[in-house]
Amino acid sequence: MIEPGLFLGVISALAGMMIGSFLNVVIYRLPKNESIVLPGSHCTSCNSAIKWYHNIPVLSYFILRGKCANCGESFSFRYAFIEMLTGALWFWGFYKYALPEAVLFVIIVSILIAISFIDIDLMIIPLVLILMALVVLFGYYLIYPENAIAAIWGMLMGVCYLGGVYLLTKGMFKKETMGMGDLQLIAVLGSWIGPMNVAATIFLGSLITLIAFGIVNQIAGKEADRALPFGPFLAFTGIAMFMLNPDWMQVMKYLHVI
> What is the spatial distance between Cα 118 and Cα 255, in angstroms, rounded to a whole number?
38
3-state secondary structure of 42: strand
Task: Give the E-state strand segments of 18-114 in sequence order.
Answer: none
> Could you tell me the pTM of the whole model?
0.93
* Average pLDDT of the residues in 3-7: 76
Write down the pLDDT at residue 142: 96
CB count, 10 Å around CB of 247?
11
> What is the spatial distance between Cα 31 and Cα 99, in angstroms, rounded to a whole number?
32
Q: Of 192, 119, 198, 106, nearest to 157 (Cα)?
A: 198
> Which CA distances in Å does 47 have to 41, 107, 189?
9, 30, 37
Encode pLDDT of 191-232 as tens digits.
Answer: 999 999 999 999 999 999 989 988 988 888 777 677 889 999
Q: Of 253, 257, 118, nearest to 185 (Cα)?
A: 118
> What is the spatial distance between Cα 183 and Cα 62, in angstroms, rounded to a whole number?
38
Write down the pLDDT at residue 22: 96
Q: What percentage of the chain carries pLDDT values higher than 70?
A: 97
Write down the pLDDT at residue 1: 53
Please, what is the average pLDDT of the chain? Answer: 91
Query: Is a pLDDT exceeding 70 seen at residue 56?
Result: yes
Encode pLDDT of 15-55 as tens digits.
Answer: 999 999 999 999 999 999 998 888 878 877 787 888 888 88
